[in-house]
Amino acid sequence: MGASPSPVCPDGPRRFLGLHAVNVFVRDQDESLRFYVDQLGFDVAFDARLQSGDRWVAVSPPDGTAVLALVAPAPDSREYQLIGRSTGIVFVAEDVIAKYEEWRKRGVRFSFTPRLRRVRYGRQTPAPRMPEEQPPAWGGVFTRFRDLDGNSFALVSFDEVNREIEVRRRQIAERLESERRTAQELEIAKQVQARLFPQRLPPIESLEYAGTCIQARQVGGDYHDFLDLGQGRFGLVIADISGKGIAAALLMANLQANLRSQCAIALDEPERLLRSVNQLFYENTDESSYATLFFAQYDDKMRRLRYANCGHLAALLLRQDGNVDRLDSTGTVLGIFKKWECAIAECRLFSGDMLVLYTDGITESFNDADEEFGEQRLIQALQKHRDLAPQALIASIVDEVQRFSPHEQHDDITLIVAKCRGDEEYQQTLQLESVTDGADE
């Protein structure tokens, strides 16, 4: 006959197996519950009424590694005869003497004072007397106590167990300290990155605009910016760095520094600016890192938008008449190719038009049915709220995305909304600017 197959295959899937509870037979569950909770300091693990009508009461020691079910059997049952006997249950304490003194003062009955024992071959035998500074190998302290019904339990401590407890305590302390330092460093990184986002909005007479970035983690890889390029021209930037967390945040800072340090050449040569940014990003990152970028240069007087979409999601231009223009890619992503070119496209904005730049944290948010929020839902939400001011409109869009995807946010959400003022509103803005400038002089 062949050998019986093993119920557990070392190379197969591991299936969960846990200890449910150990029964302790008692006469009165309420009285026993008070004893284990009030005198032993145990926690109530369960106290519920089963469908059968029986009450299930269970307690556990403070570390929660075991559950004792306090069962009150019927007087005519076989289990009732087991009340008041040795349970065979052994509790391990770090300091048996201290636990003995604590419980004895609370009225717990011990069979004898704690004794020093030597563990040998699974049995406990009296240890020979030794000098205090030389405890016996594999030694420990041992005693027994009883509950209200006379059920007896062992209370022991072993040198090896105590050493293991101390090792675990140190490991836990080191882990907590490491987590504290990491959290502190992340908070500092969050504050530093927050300063990289626009701290003020350059005044643009013909546009009312706003932007936001809601990070999925404390720091992230989404980037948006507003740049004063001089001569009445402004830069609107949104980017999404590959990866997440600290690594993406560092690349985001690198991209921001490259753009801001060279934005002066964007006035006349935006292609040259983007080639330079790509070159620096390529040289300063590894081969797997890249960024999608939408860079727009807006002429405030002409209401003209010149833009480059470097592998980013299509920007949306919602026209006053309800039509939607998609500003698609004009080049590939930044940082992958050393030799890189990008075309510049152009469009005009008219009164009532709205330009929207965003990252995939909006369109790729999922609901419980595994559906994406998507571009079409974003357009519908923008049309529904288009009468709001940009900042309020952004808040409404973010609220809709978060209600659509109420679970934990998995990607950064970044959004820029720029609304082209009407002719009358534009003239009023120019007059207000003229008055303000005269007062300053």
Q: Of the candidates 62, 143, 61, which has an alpha carbon nearest to the alpha carbon of residue 104?
A: 143
Residues 6+ apart with CB under 8 A from 363: 313, 372, 373, 374, 375, 378
CATH of the domain at 283: 3.60.40.10
Q: Which amino acid is at 175?
A: R
Shared-domain flag, residues 170 and 282: no
CATH of the domain at 32: 3.10.180.10
In a domain, 237, yes or no: yes
pTM over 0.75? The answer is no
In a domain, 275, yes or no: yes
Q: Which amino acid is at 6?
A: S
Distance from C-alpha of 213 to C-alpha of 414, rounded to nearest angstrom = 4
Beta carbons of 22 and 89 less than 8 angstroms apart: yes
Shared-domain flag, residues 241 and 367: yes
Q: Of the candidates 344, 348, 322, which has an alpha carbon nearest to the alpha carbon of residue 420?
A: 348
Shared-domain flag, residues 320 and 230: yes
Q: How far is CA 210 from CA 49, 136, 207, 322, 400, in A?
A: 58, 74, 10, 21, 18
Distance from C-alpha of 196 to C-alpha of 129, rounded to nearest angstrom = 71
Shared-domain flag, residues 306 and 267: yes
How many domains are contained in the chain? 3
Q: Of the candidates 414, 372, 369, 421, which has an alpha carbon nearest to the alpha carbon of residue 394?
A: 414
Per-residue buried b or exposed e for 288-326, using 16+ beta carbons within 10 Å of the residue's own CB: ebbbbbbbbbbbbeebebbbbbbbbbbbbbbeeeeebee
Q: What is the per-residue pLDDT across 75-84, written as a single tens digit (0 to 9) for each?
A: 999 999 999 9
Q: How confident is the model at residue 124 (pLDDT cuts 50, 70, 90)?
A: very low
Q: For residue 385, how many other CB atoms are within 10 A of its CB?
A: 17
Shared-domain flag, residues 320 and 221: yes
In a domain, 328, yes or no: yes
Shared-domain flag, residues 280 and 427: yes
Shared-domain flag, residues 379 and 295: yes
In a domain, 5, yes or no: no
Q: How confident is the model at residue 194 (pLDDT cuts 50, 70, 90)?
A: low
In a domain, 89, yes or no: no
For residue 169, the enclosing domain spans 94-177
Shared-domain flag, residues 271 and 404: yes
Shared-domain flag, residues 364 and 431: yes
Average pLDDT over residues 19-26: 90
pLDDT value for 160:
61
Shared-domain flag, residues 422 and 336: yes
- Whether the pLDDT of residue 149 is over 60: the answer is yes
In a domain, 323, yes or no: yes
Shared-domain flag, residues 260 and 389: yes
Shared-domain flag, residues 76 and 218: no
